[in-house]
A and B are shown apart, each in its own frame.
Chain A
Amino acid sequence: MRYIFYLLVISVSVIGCKSDKKTEDSKELTVYTHRHYESDQELFKRFEEETDIKLNIVNASADELIQKMSLEGEQSPADVLITVDAGRLYRAKSQDLLQSFSSPLIDSIVPNHLRDEDGHWVSLTKRARVIAYAKDRVDSTELSTYENLTSEEWKDKILVRSSSNIYNQSLLASIIANEGNEFAENWAQGVVDNMARSPKGNDRDQVKAVANGEGDLAIVNTYYIGKLLNSEDENELEAGESVGIFFPNQETTGTHINVSGIGVAKYSPNKASAVEFVEFLLKEDAQNIFAGSNYEYPINPNVEPSEILKEWGEFKEDKLSLNELGKNNKEAVIIFDKVGWK
């Protein structure tokens, strides 16, 4: 009992010390973020050192954070909201939780299709949703577009995760925006008919399944293949190396991309610092860290992607405004339910 008591005293004092050291007058910035990568923690630390602004980080899923912001209302301590997809930023904006902001620096870095039309949010990094194919069984010339995935030749060959995943929703939302509802529903039905198995696992698991012959093609995010190719686990490494990366729709609309982005909260108590923070994240130093350690494509045109991404080559991206993804997200989910894409 005594030891437990000691442990308890120590742990309580640790918590006590932490909550005590609130410095009164120094500047603070409260960041609600869905991103929880090591690269981000590194960036946050640097920002604190460079600016003397203390960051309060609240890390949860974007939906929870949006819900929290809307409950908090005018008193919300949140200054910025960071998400890993455009749809959630669109949702925060449509719930009137964000405000417009701009600066010449931001305008010069972020192209139009990668930001909100009213200036409520901008993108920080990009990921592409590509087709990973089994190098030994599939000739990349057989591949062309997302639409082609519904053709008879891929019967029982396609691996893809659950439709609860936002990247799948965004992909379908882009198809709805580009081709219309009916086309999108037929497409989703076609993919379901061609699935090698009922959707399960995450993106990494889809690639592993291809590597082990459960199917030939996996619809996955570039980001996770980067992670696989840098895994400590030999089997994961092998799986990553056994697949080739194909960027679909190069002759048509371009490969679907999704972004991680940032918006400034409507009731942000420190808007000036918030904008400073956004600028910091878009500048070359920060973008280099994003690109280098996290296998994401940088937004800043002066920054090169990491070596692995460069090896896959350049590609034409879908220039569809990201707002469209948010607008069509719900319709996409409804279609998924209808066609039985779990």
Chain B
Amino acid sequence: MNIKHRFFKFKRDLNRWSLLLLIILAAVAIPILTIGLKLFDGPGDSWGHIVDYVLFDYLQNSLLLAIFCSIIVIVFGVSTAWLVSRFHFPFRKQLEWLLILPLSVPAYIMAYAYAGVFGYSGLFSNIVDAVGLDGFRIDFMNIYGLSFVLSISLFPYVYVSSRTFFLAQATNLLEASRMLGISEFKSFFKLIFPLARPAIIAGLVLVLMEVLNDYGAASYYGVSTFTTGIFRSWFSLGEPETAIYLSAILLIIVFGLILFEKWQRRHMNFTSAKTSKQNYSSKLRPKKGHQILFSLICFVPVCLGFILPVIQLLIWAKQTFAKVWNVEFITITLESFGIAFITALITVLVALLLLFFTKWNKIELLKSSSKLGVLGYAIPGIIIAIGVLVPSLYIDKWLIEKNITSKLILNATLIALVYAYVVRFLAVAYQPLESSSLKIDRSLSDSSKVLGEGNFKTFFKIEFPLIRTGLLSAFILVFIDILKELPLTLIMKPYDVNTLAVKAFEYASDEMVSSAALPSLLIILTALVPAIFLNKLLLKNASNS
């Protein structure tokens, strides 16, 4: 194809959606590109030292962590999602939303809680001693413990994305396979699991991004990962350049993963022929014994990821309540709720625009680069902060130079903070939306357009109702994530706004883990509100659609 030809193709494909897409993409990609530009400054002096002595360790540990976590979250996430959306069993309704809750426990708090449970004279040793196995201990603070802690707090990503898929998938396929005499078990592995792959992977990508950028839990458990390395190069060696270099490598790996995933499903069409109407009502009623077994299977991750750590937190909160509690916590809780709610709305909206502008735009290059927008999630929050601070300070300084303002107006305001959150959490909103929009049969929107309806009308009439569940899941996930977010909040928040995560961190970083329990519990409580509520909506939706 020669240049002239290309140009004509470009001109033909260019439409207003391409331009709008470009604007959104630019807005979310600026911080990431800013970091990218910093790469041209080269790494710091100690780069050679890092390559010689520690890089291999970082790579190895991060890789192992990613593998262990993938296995655990798929086992927990997919099995529970399948059971709750396919079968009737006791407490199914409660378990359905309880399974989202482990997400509300910040990973580093989960790490502390488990260290407490398995520590000297912790819950575990008390129980073990009580049943007569004196002295039996499990050393939890190592890479296996870390994998477990991270997986158990992150598996809901996979649970939510695969459940969204299972709730909407066509049961007629299953009915067919049942009629052919294939067992439920077998058709799960032969039929459903492969079909659900994009949804599972969408959740898994989020988990892996978060696993790769965890700092708090890894450093407490003494496991050197890529991210602890990033922090070490910056904080201990005093070389932000080296830290940015390391995170660029991390980013390239993650981007590679995303592209690989896209590439390998390139020829597949995951839309179901017909969206069945009765899928919700057609839950199976297995034998009583099986029902109890299913309840147990779903209860295990709830217990490990939520009940057990919450019990530990309650024990600590009881010890420290008198010392820690003050009325300020009520305002802080409200502030956290408000910020998380509004930012989650904006993030979901931006993700939605990104997704549909991409779809409506016809330029191939833009289509594939839209994935750039979601990379923020793989970058440690603190480095995103640099990416946001640089351009926002640039605007501030420009305004001062032009005498429009006299001091920094974006710096340390809610605007900059919300912007940073959107950049960071766009992926969390984008993945569930994308996976639910993949299921929409293209012929639906095509026929709408053939009948002369525009993109917008088609969107509101056809596509929006179909991805509503995806929208709700995306909202809950982002909301909870923002409640827990820390490094970004610390450095970007306005002076007089406080969040629960900041409070929890203040105590934890001073080694007062038990005092951090109270604000952590409040985070969990705040996260409960939309989780329960939106789950109800999700169900209503599924039964109506």
Contact = CB atoms under 8 A, between A and B. Distances in A.
Given A164-B236, A232-B320, A7 B529 contact: yes
Interface string A150-163: 00000000000011
B390 A201 contact: no
B400 A75 contact: yes
Interface stretch (B65-73, B191-199, B337-345, B421-429): B337-345
A202 B511 CA distance: 7
A75 B220 contact: no
Contact of B511 (A58, A72, A164, A204): A204
Contacts of B121: 235
A14 interface: yes
A60 B490 contact: yes
B231 interface: yes
A15 interface: yes
Contacts of A164: 219, 228, 231-232, 235-236
Contacts of B407: 75, 77
Given A71-B386, A333-B236, A337-B49, A200 B141 contact: yes
A58 B502 CA distance: 11
A329 B237 CA distance: 8
Nearest to B219: A164
A164 B237 CA distance: 10
B487 interface: yes
A233 interface: yes
B224 interface: yes
A250 interface: no
A72 B411 contact: yes
Contact of B514 (A61, A211, A233, A330): A233
B394 to A, nearest CB: 10
A193 interface: no
Interface string B297-339: 0000000000000000000100110010000000100110111
Nearest to A21: B496
Contacts of A169: 236
Interface in A55-106: 56-61, 63-65, 67-68, 71-73, 75, 77, 91
B491 A68 contact: yes
B25 to A, nearest CB: 24
B292 interface: no
Nearest to B530: A4
B384 interface: no
B334 A14 contact: yes
Nearest to B316: A233
B441 interface: no
B236 A11 contact: no
B46 to A, nearest CB: 7
Interface in A309-342: 329-330, 333-334, 337-338, 342
Contacts of A140: none
A20 to B, nearest CB: 10
A330 B45 CA distance: 11
A199 interface: yes
Contact of B236 (A60, A199, A329): A329
A198 interface: yes
A18 B497 contact: yes
Contact of A63 (B234, B323, B509): B234
Contacts of A272: none
Q: Bin the interface of chain B by size.
A: 35 or more
A53 interface: no
Contacts of A72: 393, 408, 411
A201 B497 contact: no
Interface in B338-386: 338-339, 341-342, 382, 385-386
A11 B511 contact: no
Contacts of A4: 341, 529-530, 533
Contacts of A19: 414, 494, 496-497
B120 A67 contact: no
B220 A201 contact: yes
B389 A330 contact: no
Contacts of A232: 319-320, 323, 514
A202 B393 CA distance: 36
A150 to B, nearest CB: 21
Contacts of A10: 334
A36 interface: yes
A227 B511 contact: yes
Contacts of A199: 222
Contacts of B397: 73, 75
Interface string A215-241: 000000000100100011101000100
A60 B493 CA distance: 10
B412 interface: yes
Contact of B238 (A8, A36, A91, A235): A91
A5 B49 CA distance: 54
Interface in B223-268: 224, 228, 231-232, 234-238, 240
A75 B235 contact: no
Contacts of A15: 335, 338-339, 414, 497
B115 interface: yes
Nearest to A239: B120
B120 A235 contact: yes
A330 B242 CA distance: 13
A64 B231 CA distance: 11
Interface in A144-202: 162-164, 166, 169, 198-202
Contacts of A77: 407-408, 411-412
A1 B533 contact: yes
A337 B53 contact: yes
Interface string B119-139: 111000000000000000000
29 contacts: A7-B529, A8-B338, A11-B337, A12-B338, A15-B414, A18-B496, A37-B510, A59-B490, A64-B382, A64-B491, A67-B386, A68-B491, A71-B390, A72-B393, A75-B393, A75-B411, A77-B408, A164-B236, A200-B141, A208-B119, A212-B120, A227-B511, A231-B514, A233-B316, A239-B120, A330-B237, A337-B49, A337-B53, A338-B53
Q: Which 6 A-B pairs have the closest CB atoms?
A: A200-B222, A11-B338, A11-B334, A36-B506, A60-B490, A232-B319
